[in-house]
């Protein structure tokens, strides 16, 4: 007789929980920063990767480092027709999309009264509208397949806000609420989650890091007293992409060095 604590019928075998062998992952924003790190991490776990970016040369450079089959798609994710063509290109090569990461984002750091309407619209267009376009078009595929894991890139700023961060925080909060709504709409077969990084040394952040006073102040607001590296998101990305998170949907996973813990 088995002890009452024994698991005799694992839904996913522990040794295969993080195995992505033969799965197809679409990563937008794959040419640099978090997108590049995620693409490399998924490849290391066995996935085939579709690398989508406006920077096709950068995406090809990442693809050249991958061990498994890869596809590069040049795309402007704010253009609906190009997003639809991107999805069709991935289906044309791989016939399915098992995993999707919606990553591109921009920021304009200004006090709200100095923020122009054009700047507001430009950030909303990339961070929120484009995220929705990608989610909607990939979601159609995943719903038809009746399987898939979608991960949207939010931000710790979408949870906490901050001075000079109005439009960025609004868009990332919007991504979080979109994630929750899609998780409810697309369950039980399609899981939708978000990752909310703190400050990472990405191209978006490195420019502002040149302001040493700002850097020291923000660094010290992290419990770990440092900025993260893009690759430190990869563990969370693989968890949410894989069967290890088979009962996880509609959640926001913070990877922020303790940023949000100190912002309450």
Map tokens 């490399």 to a residue: 40
- Please indicate whether residue 168 is annotated as part of the active site: yes
Selected catalytic residue, list 35, 48, 63, 168? 168
Q: How many CA atoms lie within 13 A of 11 on its CB side?
A: 5
Q: Any idea what DSSP says for residue 183?
A: H
CB 35, CB 28: distance < 8 Å: yes
Are the C-beta atoms of residues 48 and 25 closer than 8 Å to each other? Answer: yes
- b/e burial code for range 219-258 (CB count within 10 A of at least 16 → b): eebbeeeebbebebbbebbbbbbbbbbeeebbbbbbbbbe
Residue 88, number of CB atoms within 10 A of its CB: 13
Instruction: Output the CA angle 47-51-54, nearest 5 degrees.
Output: 170
Closest residue by Cα to residue 78 from 132, 119, 38: 132
| Catalytic residue set | 168
């Amino acid at each position: 007789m088995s002890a009452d604590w024994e698991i005799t019928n694992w839904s996913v075998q522990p040794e295969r929980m993080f195995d992505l062998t033969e799965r197809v992952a679409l990563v937008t924003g794959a040419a640099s920063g978090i997108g590049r790190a995620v693409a490399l991490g998924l490849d290391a776990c066995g996935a085939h990767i579709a690398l989508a970016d406006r920077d096709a040369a950068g995406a090809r450079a990442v693809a050249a480092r991958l061990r498994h089959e890869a596809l590069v798609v040049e795309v402007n994710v704010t253009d609906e027709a190009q997003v639809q063509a991107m999805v069709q290109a991935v289906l044309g090569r791989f016939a399915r999309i098992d995993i999707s990461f919606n990553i591109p984002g921009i920021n304009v750091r200004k006090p709200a009264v100095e923020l122009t309407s054009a700047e507001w619209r430009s950030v909303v267009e990339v961070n929120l509208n484009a995220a929705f376009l990608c989610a909607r078009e990939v979601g159609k595929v995943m719903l038809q397949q009746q399987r898939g894991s979608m991960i949207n890139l939010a931000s710790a700023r979408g949870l906490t806000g901050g001075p000079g961060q109005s439009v960025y925080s609004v868009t990332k909060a919007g991504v979080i609420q979109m994630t929750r709504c899609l998780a409810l709409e697309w369950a039980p077969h399609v899981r939708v989650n978000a990752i909310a990084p703190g400050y990472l040394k990405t191209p978006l952040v490195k420019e502002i890091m040149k302001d040493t006073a700002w850097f020291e102040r923000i660094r010290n607001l992290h419990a770990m007293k440092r900025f993260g590296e893009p690759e430190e998101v990869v563990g969370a990305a693989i968890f949410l992409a894989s069967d290890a998170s088979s009962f996880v949907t509609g959640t926001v996973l913070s990877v922020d060095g303790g940023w949000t813990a100190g912002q309450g």
